[in-house]
Amino acid sequence: MGKKSLSILMAMMVFFTFGFAPVQAITTSESVSAATMKASQSLISMTEEREIEVTADLGYSADLSKLQWTFGGKPLDQWKQWDPSAKKYSGSPYITFSEPPAYIDGTTKIKAKLKFSLLYGTEDVSPRSLRTLYPALIGTYELAVKDPAKGQAANVPLKLNVYDEYLKWDEIKPAIDKISKEAINGRYVSYQTLGSSSEGRPMHFMVLAKDKASVDQYLNQIAQQKLENPAELKKKMANGQLKNYKVPIWINNIHPDESPGVDAIVELYRIFATEKSKSFKTADNQGREKETSINIDKALDNVIFLFNFTQNPDGRVYNTRQNANGFDLNRDNTYQTQIETQNLAKGLSKWLPVSLLDFHGFYDEFVIEPCTPPHNQNYEYDLLMDGMVEQAEQMGKAGIANTKYDSYLIPLKDWPNKFDDATPSYTSTFSMFHGAMGHTVEIPDLNAESYKALVNAGLGAAKYVSENKQELFRNQLDIYERGILGKDDRATDKWFVNPEGEEIGRDRKGNKSFFPDYYVIPVDKKLQKNVLEAHKMADYLIRNGIKVSQSSKTIKAGKQTYPKGSYVIDMKQAKRGFVNAVLYDGEDLSDWEEMYAEVVNSFHDLRGFTRMEVRSANAFAKGLQPVKKVTAPKTEVKEKADSYVVKNSSNEAVKAVNKLLRMKAPVQQLTAGGKGYAAGDYVISGKELGLVKDSYYLDLMSYDKKGKTKVLKQPKVFSTGSAASKYVLKELGFEIAKSENEADVVVDDAGLAAKALIQTGKPYIGIGSSSLNFAEKENLLPGFDYSTTTGSRASHEGLLWTDVSAGQMMTSGYAKKEKLYIATGSYIKAVPKDAAILAKVANQPNFFISGWWPKHEVLQGQTIAFTKGNITLFANDITNKAHPQYSYRLLANSIYAAMK
């Protein structure tokens, strides 16, 4: 079901369960000018009980007992609270008279007091079961009183909201514009966008500074120099030459259904743009409450405020955590499969904030990072923590002093583990690789109180950064300088501990430095298994502010010769930690009890390109040219032929084949190998090649017409389960069926397929633990057995060495030894008789490369993929978060193989 359809369905559900839908500016034809109504306030909150005094004058004295009171066109007694057991609005009365209607002595004025209870029986509507309900009821309704005898009526509009400050998507930009118009003269406010969302909505972004000159100075003189020559900036700071400089604070939201975050950012923009100073409460070092304030003019002498109101505009429209493609963007900040995270990466690379706050919810406690161990070893953690803990303290103190909350938690101080920052995929942890103190801030409730906690936490952070600008800026420069000098400072080691809390330091594997001197990504086909992915990785790094060069000549480093054109990343650069985080093999964190999210990045393995680690100082001191923009390679047609073999070596081949099939163009697939080609490769004519060669990068050879082929038919694929699988299938160009019945093939990663259809012979491809559980529970394959292990926050995951049954149609394009990824903690213990095994975990001691999978020794030699009859099962997670793109062809191969 599409997002828009879901919104319509929600509105219909409200109509049928509550008996009405929100009515905007209702008018009553019976009203006359003499009839008036007033209310003591115009706002009603779903999360706060309120009494509203109303006065009405119909122009005469009517019989009070006969008057009809309505809200939104419905009698008051038809407004009911939500009944969670019945799952409809049929509970206790929502609107009652706390003071019944009565005439004010000697007048025709009627006075009454209405009580609006808690619509959902709670002040906190953070449970997902409630978050999906309240948006459909937000709106302006007419409170009306009518005399049925004469038809006379009076009314007044009241706005019903989840809490007063909540802004729907289409209200955010007008609110921003209004604040900008009211900004104090002289303050610089600039509306920009970070880009557009998946559905094309703007990512609203505001820059607030003392003046334009401050912004120009920072962007044109300081930001780039931070990355190029931080030592010079430190010298200028020390001798007083660096004057009037500002440092950026970035305030962010990524989960817009955690709605107070968005609204708090709007309020912080209002405060900093329109007020001269702001008083708020905090606490001293002994915990005693005290008054404090932030002088905003003085703060603007030190900081530039950056407001990213929500990183997920589409999610605000549909009130979902995910974007319109169904992705949790807070797990995509390094993967950057989605346009929203790509846009954020560009923004952070431009601004390089000293501090980033990412507003979230919901926890039982008011939680403010920094995190518990294990920490990602690519951080300069000692420098980040020199300020990050204290900033969290100031945020927490302000958050609780101005609300009903009486405590806050800093995981690093208050929890032993289970709230780690080993993954760089969260917005906050991702920003730390750009030199920011990155804080995820988790509020307890979805209501006005948590909104206030975020606003005041933001005030506390702004005051802290403003008052400690020089120290925090120097720490950031030190982070960059370590990278440029290639210094692996042992001061970081104390932060990297084992589960017992013992220092283990960075895992240098016997090397002098944790970091290599260079990474090389060759583009020559003799060294590179996926030329296009090599170029895409270079583009990715540039998007993230990484310096990438290309060799202008062949260079020999050690025993390896690197051809001209190879991409070279010199690790002596400011953000070398980020480079290493996505290009090193990763860590085995299996000793830990729990991890919060996936820790395997390893782009070279999960995206399927060749990268080489070089540990030889100055190996590429000469012969490099900086790359500012990557030009994608073009398909090379070396010789003219009647027919061509398109090697099944990349996702581009699958996309090209599916495009041709959609165009009803003939495509054949080789069922047996020949000279230079293999089973599973594709055969197309020269005419068909002309239709796709300019759109896709293809690995070609002329066809000698000696192989055996089958005619490919365009498969209709039905995907049941994750948004990631649906997204991947669309990305690969498969035709998506609307139902299982009309599909040629069913792809399932949720265990939701129809057993009866499979038993009739419908081709079924199951991915991950849910599908394995479904196959076992429904006894689809006698003799099949599997095992799974999971953690409480995320399933066990691992990047593993595997033995692939190469040479088969379903494993076409893969070698006998491959690194494959599992994310749902599963493996196949027994395969049915006569099943064809596609891949096994390698039967070798070092099969586990990286990830988090306690007691993974049981995996050694176990099956992870097989096929029998119309059923193919994968334990490895082919589509997980659209990151393991090297595995996509296993899915495509299986789909094509199912087409008899």
Active site members? 442
For residues 174 and 432, what is the distance between their CA atoms, to the nearest angstrom? 32
Secondary structure of residue 297 in the 3-state scheme: helix
Cβ-based neighbours of 532, under 8 Å, separated by 6 or more: 632, 633, 650, 652, 697
Place of tokens 């005094």: 53
Nearest to 711 by CA among 775, 750, 667: 667
State the distance between the two ends of the chain, measured CA to CA, in whole angstroms: 30
Cβ-based neighbours of 880, under 8 Å, separated by 6 or more: 598, 724, 768, 821, 823, 824
Cis amide bond preceding 374, omega within 30: yes
Please name the amino acid found at residue 407: S
DSSP state of 127: S
Cβ-based neighbours of 407, under 8 Å, separated by 6 or more: 365, 366, 400
Contact 9, 1 (CB under 8 A): yes
E runs forming strands in 743-886: 745-748, 764-767, 785-788, 797-804, 817-822, 826-830, 836-841, 848-852, 863-868, 871-874
For residues 669 and 315, what is the distance between their CA atoms, to the nearest angstrom? 41
CA dist 45 → 90, 503, 594, 710 (Å):
19, 51, 39, 65
E runs forming strands in 590-713: 612-614, 624-627, 643-646, 668-670, 682-685, 700-702, 709-711
E runs forming strands in 664-810: 668-670, 682-685, 700-702, 709-711, 716-720, 735-736, 745-748, 764-767, 785-788, 797-804
Task: Report residue 147 CA to chain centroid gap.
Answer: 54
The number of helix segments (H) and strand segments (E) in the chain equals 24, 44
Nearest to 348 by CA among 253, 262, 250: 250
For residues 622 and 520, what is the distance between their CA atoms, to the nearest angstrom? 14
Q: Which two tokens stand for residue 381?
A: 């953690």
For residues 204 and 208, what is the distance between their CA atoms, to the nearest angstrom? 13
Contact 589, 852 (CB under 8 A): yes
How many residues are listed for the chain in this entry? 900
Tell me the pairing of strands 785-788 and 826-830.
antiparallel
Secondary structure of residue 603 in the 3-state scheme: helix
| Dmax (CA) of the chain | 106
For residues 836 and 249, what is the distance between their CA atoms, to the nearest angstrom? 56
DSSP state of 607: I
Phi/psi of residue 623, nearest 5 degrees: 85, 25
Contact 709, 668 (CB under 8 A): yes
Cβ-based neighbours of 352, under 8 Å, separated by 6 or more: 223, 226, 227, 248, 434, 435, 436, 476, 545
- 609 - beta bridge partners? none
For residues 432 and 368, what is the distance between their CA atoms, to the nearest angstrom? 15
| 577 CB-contact burial (10 Å; exposed 0-12 / middle 13-18 / buried 19+) | buried
Tell me how many degrees the CA angle 468-415-413 measures, rounded to the nearest 5.
25
Cβ-based neighbours of 153, under 8 Å, separated by 6 or more: 28, 30, 31, 35, 58, 144, 145, 146, 147
Secondary structure of residue 401 in the 3-state scheme: helix
